[in-house]
Chains A and B, each alone.
Chain A
Amino acid sequence: MDIEKSVLIKDEYDIVTARSTAKQMAAEIGLGIVDQSRIATAVSELARNIVVYAGKGVVNFQWLSENDRNGLEIVAVDSGPGIADIDWAMTDGYTSGGGLGIGLPGTKRLMDEFEIESKVGRGTTITIRKWKR
């Protein structure tokens, strides 16, 4: 599938761009205001993690279409330090910076699907999806 939009993340201003892109695309496929808020917040967290932990990266957006349902897929990619213990990072209550990143369990709860791949020294890729019901 083709990437519809791509937002380069290198500083905090790009976090704002990423979340407004998320909101706009969610609205475009007819997701409701609550889902728009969920997706924008999830993207904000992923983009902040890139800025805080990796310094730079990219957030890609693409449409999903499967049988008769539509959705939105967002992939946050960086080549930063990676996450050594994913289970630990996915534990609720764990945050290394008090609102300065991670927040992965919360992000997962806001979305329908959540996948994470990370290699120490290589980087992290997080994929999130939301389907229109």
Chain B
Amino acid sequence: MLQVEQIPILKIDDFLITSIQVALHDKLALSFQDGVLRKIEHTNAKGLIIDITAVDVVDSFITRILVETAAMARMMGTKTVLVGLRPDVAITLTEFGMKLKGIQTALDLERGLAMLRKEIEMDNEEFC
């Protein structure tokens, strides 16, 4: 049986913030990706923050989903920052050789938001 689980995606100003608090199995990871992209479409968000503080195992599949989600969001004009990568997860990812290609990371939510605000500000200046 497929369990209906939800990872809430919150909107604040121009940003979407989502925090993964449950064990990510493959189907949930895919429905998360789908949910994020739909929310981007509906909200026109300029930035997306994915918080993985509560995620204790990031394997190659989850890495791929995160990298792909960021790439898809970018195509839709949304910048992604991954926050809350735990030290043990960072060590494991590096030793394994998994690369978070094309994903920006920040230590925590606060720094991630600051990073996004700065970048979007710079983009706006270029337009003017």
User: Which residues of A approach B to under 8 Å, CB–CB?
Assistant: 12-13, 15-16, 19-20, 23, 33-34, 36-38, 40-41, 44-45, 48, 92, 95, 98-100, 103, 105-107, 109-110
Q: What is the CB-to-nearest-CB distance from A98 to chain B, in angstroms, rounded to a whole number?
A: 6
User: Which residues of B approach A to under 8 Å, CB–CB?
Assistant: 23-27, 56-61, 63-65, 86-89, 91-92, 95-98
Interface of A is mostly: helix
11 contacts between A and B (CB under 8 A): A15-B26, A16-B23, A19-B57, A23-B56, A23-B57, A37-B56, A41-B57, A48-B61, A98-B64, A103-B96, A110-B92
B57 touches A99 (CB 8 A): no
A45 touches B25 (CB 8 A): no
List of 5 A-B pairs having minimum Cβ-Cβ separation, nearest first: A99-B64, A106-B96, A44-B59, A37-B88, A12-B26
Interface of B is mostly: helix
Q: What is the CB-to-nearest-CB distance from B51 to chain A, in angstroms, rounded to a whole number?
A: 18
Assess A41 versus B96: contact at CB under 8 Å? Given A12-B25, A13-B25, A33-B88.
Answer: yes
Q: How far is the CA of A100 from the CA of B58 in the complex (A)?
A: 13
Q: How far is the CA of A83 from the CA of B98 in the complex (A)?
A: 22
Number of interchain pairs (Cβ within 8 Å) = 71
Q: How far is the CA of A98 from the CA of B27 in the complex (A)?
A: 17
Assess A34 versus B91: contact at CB under 8 Å? Given A41-B96, A44-B59, A99-B63.
Answer: yes
Q: Which residues from chain B contact A45 at a C-beta distance below 8 Å? A: 59-60
Q: Which residues from chain A contact B26 at a C-beta distance below 8 Å? A: 12, 15
Q: Return the chain B residue nearest A22 by Cβ.
A: B57
